[in-house]
Amino acid sequence: MPNLPLGIPSNLDKYFFNRKKELAQLNIFLSGFKDDIANQLLVTGRRGVGKSFLLMKLKRELPDNVLSAYLDLSKIHGIQKGKLTEEKVMHSLFEAMLNSLKDKSTLMKIYNLKDSLLKKISPKTYDFKGAGNLLGIPLPQVDTDYEKLSSLVMEFPQNVVDNNRQSIDGFVIILDEFQLIGEFENPEAFFWLIRSFTQDQDNVTYIFTGSTSAASEIVDQINGAQGAFGGRMIQFPVEPFSEEDTYDYLKEMIPEIKFTPEGLKRFYKCTGGYPSYINSFCNTMSGGRPYDNQMVIEAFYSKLDQIAIMWVTIWSSLSDYEKEIIIILVENGALNWSELLSQVDYSNKTLLKYANRLKNKGILSHIDRKYTIDDMMLRSWLKYRQENDGYYPP
Ligand SMILES: Nc1ncnc2c1ncn2[C@@H]1O[C@H](COP(=O)(O)OP(=O)(O)OP(=O)(O)O)[C@@H](O)[C@H]1O
Ligand SMILES: [Mg+2]
């Protein structure tokens, strides 16, 4: 049986397939650093489409004169308990930025200060004395610790570039799972803060990415007409593999598994070209007789828990309200707001809160005034469990 990665493999190059066009396009957006031009990017796309893997590959292949930091907000301590705060994000961001200096011999001097710098901004003590001096950053006279912390962190990347122009032209900062910022008390304020710094920084690019639909509230807050970046961010959608890409991928990664032409077509239909589903489906298959249409369908339904493993995990992290909204929409198809509201026994306000959460997580879509769950794997899995167990997964 194949053993394709279900997360991001540590050996990126071994498993990374194609995406040449996307990488070339993204690199164009990052090519202006030498001339002091920095773009801000928003990379969107459904769950499992390959955003994180693509950006890690991009990061890895950046030229030597560009520094880069990667921060996955879902990995910040406390996030699972819904305790993500602005301070924690700033702290982790600073740590990620400092870590990125490690590989550059000319920046070792700053990197070696890492521990003492991090201690100075430790949320418990907030002892900033000297932190700015160490970095050559004048700290502004501001009132709150959070303002001090955020300006220290936000000024840092441009300062590193300015002080090392002979070897460094730009700094790329990737913020993954950025939709979690929607859980802050005031997400807009956070986006405005970043905007206010980046507008004077000509050599720093932020790439926001996460599983959220291009039409979600959080995308509006960051880049909508009234949002912090007011449409100035370049929005870059990542699409699933094409049919042809999927076939080439299978040929290259799992040559031992054979398909008839109809079997291949069915496989593409079942996975939608999402690399996450392609991988998890492949891992349930075995060599021998070529998979035809019927065999693919049978394999799909008999291994659905394994194929939809991503949703099994996400499902267990959702609140009862969120689960209920999903189930209503899976059973009823697309509903408008009043239809949806009539199906629940809580208030408009509560429904709004959880519907927005689901939108930010990229699970709920809102198109033409109708709400739907458009991930077919999530729908198939729920229906299948209901039919087999007699109830939806708890
Ligand atoms: N270009 C690729 N080549 C090979 N495998 C890929 C590629 N892109 C993604 N994958 C595989 O698909 C899975 C999902 O990829 P990834 O985690 O990057 O998706 P994502 O869009 O970031 O999802 P999420 O929104 O859940 O974070 C991973 O197991 C990864 O190994
Ligand atoms: Mg990801």
The radius of gyration computed from the CA coordinates of the chain, to the nearest angstrom, equals: 23
72 and 162: one domain? yes
Are 99 and 155 in contact by the 8 Å Cβ rule? The answer is no
53 and 188: one domain? yes
Tell me, in angstroms, the distance from the centre of ligand 1 to residue 216's CA.
21
Residue 181 counted as domain residue: yes
Q: Where are the alpha helices (DSSP H) in 333-375?
A: 337-343, 348-360
Residue 103 counted as domain residue: yes
Of 280, 367, 273, whose CA–CA distance to 329 is shortest? Answer: 367
Please give the pLDDT value at position 284. Answer: 95
221 and 288: one domain? no
Q: Phi and psi (nearest 5°) for 208?
A: -90, 135
Final residue before a domain boundary, out of 237, 257, 285: 237
- The CA distance from 281 to 271, in Å, is 8
124 and 176: one domain? yes
143 and 279: one domain? no
Please give the pLDDT value at position 254. Answer: 94
Residue 95 counted as domain residue: yes
260 and 329: one domain? no
60 and 164: one domain? yes
Q: pLDDT tens for residues 146-169? A: 787 888 899 999 999 998 999 999
Strand partners, 372: 365
24: CATH: 3.40.50.300
Query: How many structural domains compose the chain?
Result: 3
Final residue before a domain boundary, out of 177, 202, 237: 237
364: CATH: 1.10.10.10
To test the pocket of ligand 1, the residue of 4, 8, 57, 175 to mutate (highest count of ligand atoms within 8 Å of its CB) is 8
Q: Quick one: which ligand is closest to 53's CA?
A: 1
Which residues does a 6 A CB cutoff place in the pocket of ligand 1?
5-9, 15-17, 19, 45, 47-53, 211, 275-276, 279
Q: Quick one: which ligand is closest to 276's CA?
A: 1
Tell me, in angstroms, the distance from the centre of ligand 2 to residue 22's CA.
16
To test the pocket of ligand 1, the residue of 3, 15, 52, 216 to mutate (highest count of ligand atoms within 8 Å of its CB) is 52
69 and 183: one domain? yes
Residue 252's domain comprises 243-307
- The CA distance from 316 to 149, in Å, is 35
SS3 235: strand
249 and 221: one domain? no
Residue 313 counted as domain residue: no
Residue type, 385: R
Please give the pLDDT value at position 327. Answer: 97
- Nearest-atom number in ligand 1 for the CA of 238 is 21
What contacts 31, CB < 8 A, 6 or more positions away? none
Strand partners, 69: 173
108 and 170: one domain? yes
Tell me, in angstroms, the distance from the centre of ligand 1 to residue 10's CA.
13
Residue 174 counted as domain residue: yes
What contacts 379, CB < 8 A, 6 or more positions away? 330, 373
142 and 269: one domain? no
User: Residue 67's Cα: distance from chain center in Å?
Assistant: 20
Tell me, in angstroms, the distance from the centre of ligand 2 to residue 207's CA.
13
- The CA distance from 221 to 179, in Å, is 11
The DSSP-derived string for 1-58 is -----SS--SSHHHH----HHHHHHHHHHTTTGGGT----EEEE--TTSSHHHHHHHH
- Nearest-atom number in ligand 1 for the CA of 211 is 25
Within a 10 A sphere around the Cβ of 393, how many other Cβ atoms?
Answer: 15
pLDDT per residue of the chain (394 residues) written in tens, 0 to 9: 888 999 889 888 999 999 999 999 999 999 999 999 999 999 999 899 999 999 999 999 999 999 999 999 988 866 655 567 888 899 899 999 999 998 888 888 888 888 877 877 765 555 555 555 556 655 555 556 778 788 889 999 999 999 899 999 999 999 999 988 887 878 888 999 999 999 999 999 999 999 877 777 888 889 998 889 999 999 999 999 999 999 999 999 999 999 999 999 999 999 999 999 999 999 999 988 999 999 999 999 999 999 999 999 899 989 999 999 999 999 999 999 999 999 999 999 999 999 988 887 889 988 788 999 988 999 999 999 999 999 999 9
Residue 370 counted as domain residue: yes
Final residue before a domain boundary, out of 237, 262, 282: 237
Tell me, in angstroms, the distance from the centre of ligand 1 to residue 9's CA.
10
109 and 198: one domain? yes
Q: Quick one: which ligand is closest to 7's CA?
A: 1
Tell me, in angstroms, the distance from the centre of ligand 2 to residue 122's CA.
28
